[in-house]
Amino acid sequence: MTTQQRTKALAFSVHLLTGSGAALALMALVSATKGDWAAMFAWLIVALIVDGIDGPLARKVDTKTNASNWDGAILDLVIDYLNYVFIPAYALIYSDLLPSPYGLIAALLVALTGVVYFADVRMKAVDNCFVGFPAAWQMLVLVFLVFTPPVWLTMAIVVTLAFAQFVPLKFIHPVRTVRWRKVNLPVLLIWAALAAWSVWERFTPGDAVKIGLLLTSVWLLFVGIVMQLVPERKPGKSPVSAE
């Protein structure tokens, strides 16, 4: 095998890694149909990890050049919709978070607004922030299952964030948004660890984990808006001394 063939094979393998998110989505759905929400979220957390590493790998091996017959961006969007939107919407219907018909109403709202958001060519800003809430419903539903808020509050949050997908507010991409990444990326990793522990404990972790999960969730949800309100400091010119 030549060097070029190895490079192309490596690039295609990254597409396969991204594509494995579809298999993980299917496993999550199988668990959801059994009402095993902990197992469902275990698969979704693995999918979240894959989603976090496949982008840097794709850029490193330059899949756009070396595996150009497959569009990694489209592949990523399809899989993200399954894992971030469709399966969490299913969970809203069949879990105990919302009684009928509120679960179905919330799920239909999430599914419809989510697919429209993913098709919006304006969803990414030049600084790699998302414009509008980035349809990260799997993270939200996990927090719901840990805290089991009252029905009115759950519905209010779902409706608010569904419409927040289409407002000119910024939400960070913890990996690709450069500004404050040294803080945001560790916060995401802490959130993932706390979420994994909550799933392991079947959504009944200790108070310390619950507080940490809540604080990191609030940070990840609102830090982009804070960044938007606080102008970035530009390096100024050195003052010229008068002689």
- For residue 132, the domain's CATH number is 1.20.120
**Residue 134 within a domain:** yes
Q: Which residue, 89, 46, 64, is CA-closest to 8?
A: 64
Residue 98 lies in a domain: yes
In a domain, 76, yes or no: yes
Residue 82 lies in a domain: yes
What pLDDT is stored for residue 54 in this prediction?
85
The secondary structure element, H or E, covering residue 130 is strand 130-131
**What pLDDT score was predicted for residue 176?**
87
Query: What's the pLDDT score for residue 242?
Result: 41
Q: At what angle do helices 72-80 and 37-61 cross, to 10 degrees?
A: 170
pLDDT at res. 236: 59
Q: Which domain holds residue 119?
A: 3-229
Residues of the chain with pLDDT under 50: 238-243
Identify whether the C-beta of residue 144 lies closer than 8 Å to the C-beta of residue 97.
yes
236 falls within a domain: no
Q: Does residue 239 lie within any of the structural domains? A: no
Q: Can you give the pTM of this predicted structure?
A: 0.88
169 found inside a domain: yes
Residue 105 lies in a domain: yes
Structural domain count, the chain: 1
194 and 145 in contact (C-beta within 8 Å)? no
